[in-house]
Chains A and B, each alone.
Chain A
C-alpha cells in the first residue's frame, strides 16, 4: 500500500514541529557547559540582556520553578552542578534565532572545575551491579554451573568485543514550539515518538496537571529512540515561553543533538562459550560493561539476548555499570539486542570455527525447545527456518569455510551469517473509530516517525471493518487523541493495532462509534516467550592494498508473525540492516578524554552509509502464524533489522581475511593494522 501521507511529504506540505507558525514567536538558544565536571560559580547574562532583541536569560542564577519529580536533563537550570560537557546550563531568548544565538554566546559562565572521568573500562573501580537493566529485566542471571560447563567443553572460546558510542542521528533535528493556547493550556509541538508519554513527562517536569498540557507531533523525521523520551528542547521552549509570555521555538543544531538527545552506551562484552564434540553448548557466559551518567541510571540490557538464543545447561548473563562524567545514554534502535547480539553472534562464529562446525549448523544444533533462561515456551520461533531459507537464497552450500581463500584482484571476499532476534511485546492502548459521512475516522495518539504507522493503521482498520482503505482516515500524533504508547520497543503497531481492531469491532456492533481500551486484554496475555527471529547473511569485500571494506551483498530473512504491509515492512527491514552496516563499518562518536564530551559531532565526521555503500540489499520473510500475539498476529519489525547485521558483516570480514576484528567499527585503519 502507498503511504497515506506520501503526497504531503514529498510536496513539502507535511508540517514538522519546528515549522508550525505562531504569532509573535521567539527563539531560545541554549548555552552548553564547557567543563565535564564541577560547579557553576556564576552566570552573568547582563551583556546578553542588553543585546538587540533579547527578551530573557534563563539559568540557575534564578532557577525556574519545576515540578518536584523533574529529573535528569529535563530539570533545566535547577542545579549548579555540571554533570557532563555539553550540558545545558543557560539559555537566551530573543526575537530571532540569530539574536538568541548571539546572546547565548555573550552569556558568561564561570566554573569551578573538577577532574573528570569519561572513559569506560572493564576494570573501572567504580563498576557496580544495577538492580535491573532496561526495561526492568534482572541485571544478572545464573543457571547451571558455567565453570563446570567450560571445563567439560571440547571446544571453548573466551573473547571480548567492544562497541563505541553511537548516535541515532535522525534527519529531523530535535525541536519544540511551546505556547499557551486559548484554553490556557501549554501546547508543545514536539519531535516526539509518543504524544501521550511526552505530555505526561512534560507535565510532570513542569509540575502541571496532565490535562493542562497538550503535545502535538503529527510528523516526525525519524527518531530511532532518540525521540522516545522528552528531550530538553521541549522543556526549554516551555520554560522560555512562560518567562517571556510569548511562543518560543527551541531547535537543536546537529552538534547539540550529539550532546543532549542521548546515544548508545559504549560496551565492552566478554563472552565465554564451551561446546562438546557435537557442537552442543556446555556453557554460555555473557558479561557486559557499560556506562551511565551521574544524573540518571540508564542500564542497557545488552546481555539479555543471550537469555533467549541458545540451549545450554549453564548460562550466566551479567551487566556492570559505571557512572561517568558523560551525558546519559539513552534509547537507540534495538537497545540491548543490537550491541548484545553483535557480541553473541560474533562469538558463535568464533566457536563454529574453533569447533570445525558450519556456523549455521552450530546454531541449528543449539536451537532451544523453550526459552533458555525463563523456561517459557515460545509463542513461535522460526530461527532455524530463517537460517535454512537464507542459506538457500545466499547459496551458502557453495561457500568454502576456509578463510582468506576467495579473491578478486585486490579484493578479498568473504561471507558471514548471524542471527537476529527482538522481543514481540505490546502495551495497553486506547483508540476510537467513528463513522463519518460514510467514511471511518480512526483516532489514536500513536506516532508516525517515518515508519508508516498511519498507513499500517489504515490497513489494519480497513481489514477489521471490511472496507476499502481509502474509506479509512487515521488521525494520530496528538495527545488530545485517545492515549497510546509511544513508537518504541517495536511495540507500536502491535499495541495501537490491537486497540484499533477492538474499536472497529465495537463500531461494527453499534454502527456509529467504537471505543477500545486494551488494558485488560493485554493483562490477560498468556505468559509466553514472544520474540521475532531472523538470519542475516553478508558478503564483504576487503581491499588487500587499502583496507577498504565494502558490503557487496546483504540478505535478511525474518520470521516476524503476520506482516501487516509488505512495502512498509521491507523499508523497516532494509533500513535497520543499513543501520547495522553503519554500525559494523563506520559509526563511532569519539569521546574527548581531555575535555570531556564528544568529538565529530556532525554527519561529515560521524559516518553513516551513503547510497553508494548499499549496493545489493534484500529482505524477505517467512509466513508465520502465531495466535498468541495480538489480533493482527504481528510481531514488531522496527528494530530486528539492525540486530545481527554487524555480526554477519564482522564474520564475513573474518572469512575474507582470516583476521577477527573485535572492536567496532571495522575500519580501514584496523584492517591495515592487522594486515601490515
Chain B
C-alpha cells in the first residue's frame, strides 16, 4: 500500500484548500479505502471531510436539503425522507449492508466507483483506471456491466442504488470548489464513458459536494425495486426508481430511472415521453419500455438485462398504476 498523509478538514473551504494535486477526499471510506488496498486509488494525501458540519437534513421550503456527510443509515431512517421520499429510503436500504450504510456518506455514495472486475484488478488493463490500456470486459466478464450509453472504451456501470432514486426525483448536487460554488443536477452529475471513461462525473479536481437538495416530492406513487442475485448485500443486476401520476386513466406525470444498466443512473426519458399524456395501460408501459431500450447495445453475457429491464419497467408501472 502506498504511503499517504491524512488531514482532517476544518471547514468546506479548508477542505478545498487542502485538496491539491494527489489529494482525495475521504468520506466514510467504504469504497475509497477498498480501492486503496487494491492499489486502484493511490492518493498522496487524504482530506477527511466526514466530520465537516455537513451532516444535517433540513427542510428548505417544500424542498429537503441533505448534507453531504449524512450517513446512508441516517438518510434512510430520517422521518422526513421516509414520509416524503419513501422511494429514496427504500433505495438506500437496498444497498450494501447495515454496517456499510452506517459508515457510507451521501456524497461518497454518489462518487463510489464501478465494481467492474477489471477496474478493481490492477494487474489487468482497464481504460477507466489506466486510459488507453484497453477494455477487456467487452470480450470478457461483462455479465454485470452496462447495456445503455456504453462506448468502445468502457462498459462499466455505476453501482449506486441511491443515485437511481435521486435521478428519478431530479435532485441537485451542491458543489464547492476552486472555481467557486455551483449546482449540478442529477442526472447530469455522472458522465457517460465516451472516450474518457476515467472521468466518472463532471466534477473538477478539488470539487467538494456539500449537499444534495431534493425538490418537492413529485405527485403520484413511487417505487424503488432492485433485482439482485441474492436477497441482500449485492449490487443490482437492474434496478428501477419510478414515479407515476395517473389522473382519470391518463399519465399526468412519470419519472423512470434505471440502475445497473449504464455508467450513470439512467433516466429513461424516452419512455417518459411516450407515456406522458397517454393511457396508463400495460400495453402503453410495454411500448414505453421498448422505446427506451431500443437504444441498448447489450453484449453477449449481459443481453439478459434487456428483457429484465423491460419486465421491470412494465411491472413497476403496472404496480404504480393499480
A residues within 8 Å of B by Cβ?
32, 34, 98, 101-102, 105, 255, 410, 545-548, 550, 585-586, 590, 592-595, 599-602, 604-605, 607, 609-613, 667-669, 672-673, 676
Taking the nearest CB of chain B, how far is it from the CB of A103, in angstroms?
12
Question: Which of B230, B301, B311 has most A Cβ within 10 Å?
Answer: B230
Told that A102-B3, A546-B308, A672-B307 touch, could you supply 20 new A-B pairs with CB distance under 8 A?
A32-B123, A102-B1, A102-B2, A255-B38, A585-B230, A586-B230, A590-B141, A592-B124, A592-B140, A592-B141, A599-B140, A600-B141, A604-B115, A604-B235, A605-B115, A607-B234, A610-B234, A668-B229, A669-B302, A676-B311
| Pairwise interchain contact A594-B308, C-beta atoms closer than 8 A | no
Chain B interface residue count: which class? Answer: 35 or more
Q: Which residues of chain B are near A550, meaning CB under 8 Å?
A: 231
Q: Please, which residues of chain A bring their CB within 8 A of the CB of B38?
A: 255
Interface string of B113-142 (1 = CB under 8 A from A): 001011011011000000000001001110
Main secondary structure of the interface of A (DSSP, over half): loop
Complex Cα gap A602–B115 (Å): 11
Kindly identify which residue among A101, A594, A607 contacts B139, using a CB–CB cutoff of 8 Å. Answer: A594
Q: In the complex, are the beta carbons of A545 and B311 less than 8 A apart?
A: yes
Task: Contact check, A613 vs B231: say whether CB atoms are below 8 A apart.
Answer: yes
Of all chain B residues, the one with the shortest Cβ separation from A582 is B230
CB–CB B39/A668 < 8 A: no
B6 at interface, CB cutoff 8 A: no
Instruction: Collect the chain A residues with CB atoms within 8 Å of residue B136's CB.
Output: 592, 594-595
The distance from the CB of B286 to the nearest CB of chain A, in whole angstroms, is 13
Cβ of B308 and Cβ of A605 under 8 Å apart?
no
Residue of A with least CB distance to B233: A610
Once A34-B123, A545-B311, A545-B312 are accepted as A-B contacts, the answer to whether A672 and B231 lie under 8 Å apart by CB is no
Interface residue B63 (Cβ < 8 Å from any Cβ of A): no
CB distance from B250 to the nearest CB of A (A): 25
Question: Could you write out 13 A-B pairs with CB less than 8 Å apart?
Answer: A34-B123, A102-B1, A548-B227, A550-B231, A585-B230, A590-B141, A592-B141, A599-B118, A599-B140, A613-B230, A667-B229, A668-B304, A669-B301
Asked if A593 and B140 sit within 8 Å, CB to CB, the answer is yes
- Tell me if B232 counts as interface (CB < 8 A to partner A): yes
Interface residues of chain B, those whose CB is within 8 Å of chain A, are 1-3, 38-39, 115, 117-118, 120-121, 123-124, 136, 139-141, 143, 227-235, 237, 301-302, 304, 307-308, 311-312, 315
Which residues on the A side are within 8 Å of B120 (C-beta)?
A: 602
List B contacts of A609 (CB < 8 A): 230
Taking a contact as CB atoms under 8 Å apart, the answer to whether A98 and B141 are in contact is no
Nearest residue in A to B308 (C-beta to C-beta)? A672
Q: Which of B1, B124, B312 contacts A98 (CB 8 A)?
A: B1
**B233 to chain A: which residues have CB within 8 Å?**
610, 612
A213 to nearest B CB, angstroms?
32
Q: Are B229 and A607 in contact (CB under 8 A)?
A: yes
Whether the pair B2, A610 counts as a contact (CB closer than 8 A) is: no
Minimum distance in angstroms from A14 CB to a CB of chain B: 22
In the A-B complex, the 3 residue pairs with the smallest Cβ-Cβ separation, listed nearest first, are A612-B231, A612-B232, A669-B304
Please give, as numbers and ranges, the residues of chain A lying within 8 Å of B121 by CB-CB distance: 255, 599, 601
Assess A676 versus B232: contact at CB under 8 Å? Given A548-B227, A669-B237.
no
CB distance from B41 to the nearest CB of A (A): 15
Closest to A673 in B: B304
Q: Given A34-B123, A592-B140, A594-B140, are A599 and B232 also a contact pair (CB < 8 Å)?
A: no
Given contact pairs A547-B308, A607-B234, A668-B229, A600 touches B117 in the complex (Cβ within 8 A): yes
Q: How far is the CB of B70 from chain A (nearest CB, A)?
A: 24
In the assembled complex, the CB of B29 is this many whole angstroms from the nearest CB of chain A, namely 15
Closest chain A CB from B215 CB (angstroms): 30
Which of A255, A600, A607 contacts B230 (CB under 8 A)?
A607
A32 to B122, CA, bound (A): 12
